Amino acid sequence: MVSSLRLPALTSLFSPSFTRRSTVSLRRRLHLRPPLAAGFSAQSAASSPTETEDRVDSKKSGRVEDRGSTDRVITPRSQDFNAWYLDVIANAELADYGPVRGTMVIRPYGYAMWEAIQDYLNVKFKETGHSNMYFPQFIPYSFIEKEASHVEGFSPELALVTIGGGKELEEKLVVRPTSETIVNHMFTQWIHSYRDLPLMINQWANVTRWEMRTKPFVRTLEFLWQEGHTAHATLEEAEKEALQMIDVYTKFAYEQAAIPVIAGRKSKVETFAGADKTYTIEAMMGDRKALQAGTSHNLGQNFSRAFGTQFTDENGLRQHVWQTSWAISTRFVGGIIMTHGDDTGLMLPPRIAPIQVVIVPIWKKVDEKTGVLDAASSVAETLKNAGLKVKLDDTDQRTPGWKFNFWEMKGVPLRIEIGPRDVSSASVVISRRDIPGKQGKVFGISMEPSILEAYVKDRLDEIQSSLLQRAISFRDRCSSDRSNGSCLLHGCILVSIALGSFNFLESFSEFFELNRIHMLLCTLDFFALISNASWTLCSNIVDVSSYEELKEAISLGKWARGPWSASDADELRIKEETGATIRCFPFEQPQGTKACLMTGKPADEVAIFAKSY
């Protein structure tokens, strides 16, 4: 059972009025001048009152909308995660709002991240036997109606075309929400014999879903994705394919995006409309909400029966094909932002970053400029020849300090500084984005091509690994925090504060202002430890054995993991009462049967519950 100990006095210590300094004063100000966009464009006034779009209130966030402003502000993550996210997208020039509510314009830097995702997945898709092709964007409404659960699941999100060429259409057209229906229409024309199977294709396309609440990259009316579709002779082949593709997504998340994900099966309630099974990868964002980052569906014969997609088997019998579909979208770009970013802005994994290394030449005197720029150009050429994505910022309209801030905000993994002294010593200074300040800066790295290339590649590999380990630690930080005693230490510090040692807090008011929530949770964890609680609050994934424990965990912003064998109605009740859903039944399951957290009946599986995007 969860400890019933409550600490109202400690909680009051962390109210905004207690600390000396306002959170506004703690914001990091980035002195960025044009051409950086000052903010998202104005929103169209013609939006429904029931439809909302996440946007930054410029007065609350401190952002200045004047494009001539010299002062740019990124709201601290701990203060307002949503405002921080939108500030980063605007300042890093990833995207802008379109004139239609819920749409966005993906700017070159943001699109380059999507291209990095495409480049990796395209190779993997072809290695696993898939070919790229393209299907029409407009789908006859009658196609959607053929599969009952499909039309029921997608009906609220459909965008319909009723007029074409100035005339009312005989049949409404659906703007593609997904392509299972039109794919099956074509598969019926291409598949005749078992020799035509398996048929495995992929398309890169845009889709439209009329979302009521939108957020750039995470949930928009129109977004970009890839969708794979396959047809097989047997159920076993289709199941193998669905699992293979969720494995491809899992490896991409870990190896390229440096995002740890939990792979598993969706509940019946959360299964894709028209699928027998849906597999998913779930990622924990910086605000501890879950992001469904990719899905793979075993469609069974649901669509093939609806469309008559059949083949003649080896015995001469007519059979319906077994199918899969699977997809990843530009939502993954939002996941990368929310997983790795900090108060400074983006922090990009090197394998996703549009620019892996930025070179900033530094000079004061005119006679130093040529030598510094020549050296910087030589270094840039060396690294480009090594296959790295390099930017030489040789503009002289900005100061080096401005450039440092700008490229840090853009999340570039490595910065190389070259000044007159470096030219004389044939060396460079290298700074890491993931380690702030002097700790991340190394002097005297040789410009000799083989040495420099090896050093830079090693550091990029270290950053890639560091970001993944940092994200794992955040999600599973219970073990890492206890190993160094930090939770116990934090608890002792706060207990001493509660007993009257307020001078210490005042001396470090800014530290506590930025960390008060984490410190409070660690204090609760400390009291849970000394009261022999069955689980503690320091982990962001909490094991629970009752509905009360689940509600407690969700109320604290945690993920809850517990045995589950209850009904769909019970699952919907949890969603209504807590806002959390079953994210998945993880593939990695504990052995043995336990009691369902809701009913007490035997449960063979544990499920993960969380609030999500």
Q: Let me know whether 185 and 274 are in one domain.
A: yes
Summarize pLDDT for 255-293 with one digit per residue, the tens: 999 999 999 999 999 999 999 999 999 999 999 999 999
Q: Let me know whether 498 and 606 are in one domain.
A: yes
- CA dist., res. 392 & res. 57, Å (int): 35
Mean pLDDT of 103-113: 98
The half-sphere exposure of 201 on its side-chain side, counting CA atoms within 13 A, is 18
Residue 263 is predicted with a pLDDT of: 98
Summarize pLDDT for 168-226 with one digit per residue, the tens: 999 999 999 999 999 999 999 999 999 999 999 999 999 999 988 899 999 999 999 99
Mean pLDDT of 339-353: 98
In a domain, 41, yes or no: no
Q: Which residue has the higher pLDDT, 535 or 315?
A: 315
Q: Note whether 372 and 419 are within 8 A (CB).
A: yes
DSSP, residue by residue, 204-264: EEEEE---SEEBTTTB-SEEEEEEEEEEESSHHHHHHHHHHHHHHHHHHHHHTS---EEEE
Q: Let me know whether 274 and 379 are in one domain.
A: no
51-70 burial code (b ≥16 CB/10 A, e <16) = eebebbebeebbbeeeeebe
Considering 313, 340, 367, which residue would you say is the last residue of a domain? 340
Q: Let me know whether 371 and 323 are in one domain.
A: no
Q: Which residue has the higher pLDDT, 15 or 75?
A: 75
Summarize pLDDT for 23-80 with one digit per residue, the tens: 333 333 343 433 333 334 333 333 333 556 665 544 444 333 333 333 568 999 999 9
Q: Let me know whether 519 and 432 are in one domain.
A: no
In a domain, 229, yes or no: yes
The SS3 assignment for 536 reads: coil
Q: Let me know whether 489 and 597 are in one domain.
A: yes
In what order do the strands lie in the sheet containing 167-175?
A: 138-140, 167-175, 159-164
- CA dist., res. 458 & res. 258, Å (int): 16
Q: Let me know whether 242 and 366 are in one domain.
A: no
Considering 425, 454, 473, which residue would you say is the last residue of a domain? 473
Mean pLDDT of 576-600: 96
161 pLDDT above the threshold of 90: yes
Q: Give CA 599 to chain center in angstroms.
A: 34
Q: What token pair was written down for 597?
A: 């957290």
- CA dist., res. 54 & res. 80, Å (int): 13
Residue 428: which of 375, 482, 385 has the closest Cα? 375
Mean pLDDT of 406-421: 98
Summarize pLDDT for 501-518 with one digit per residue, the tens: 334 344 444 444 444 444
In a domain, 201, yes or no: yes
Residue 91: which of 103, 74, 104, 108 has the closest Cα? 74
> Domain residues for 414?
357-473
In what order do the strands lie in the sheet containing 357-361?
A: 390-392, 357-361, 414-418, 427-432, 441-446
295 pLDDT above the threshold of 90: yes
Beta bridge partners of 598: none
Considering 340, 370, 390, which residue would you say is the last residue of a domain? 340
Summarize pLDDT for 447-473 with one digit per residue, the tens: 999 999 999 999 999 999 999 999 999
Which pLDDT band holds residue 535 (cuts at 50, 70, 90)? very low
Lowest mean pLDDT among 118-132, 161-175, 304-318, 478-492: 478-492
Q: Note whether 463 and 433 are within 8 A (CB).
A: yes
Q: How far is CA 255 from CA 199, 312, 571, 602, in A?
A: 28, 41, 33, 37
CB neighbours (10 Å) of residue 34? 11
Whole-number average pLDDT of the chain: 84
Helix (H) / strand (E) element for 542: namely: strand 541-543
Residue 242 is predicted with a pLDDT of: 99
The total of structural domains in the chain comes to 3
Residue percentage of the chain with pLDDT more than 70: 78
Q: Note whether 305 and 320 are within 8 A (CB).
A: yes
164 pLDDT above the threshold of 70: yes
Backbone phi, then psi, for 154, in 5-degree steps?
-100, -10
Give me the helices (H) in 476-543, please.
477-483, 486-498, 502-507, 509-530
Q: Let me know whether 290 and 380 are in one domain.
A: no
Q: Let me know whether 308 and 363 are in one domain.
A: no
In a domain, 72, yes or no: no
Number of helices (H) and strands (E) in the chain: give both, helices first.
Answer: 20, 29
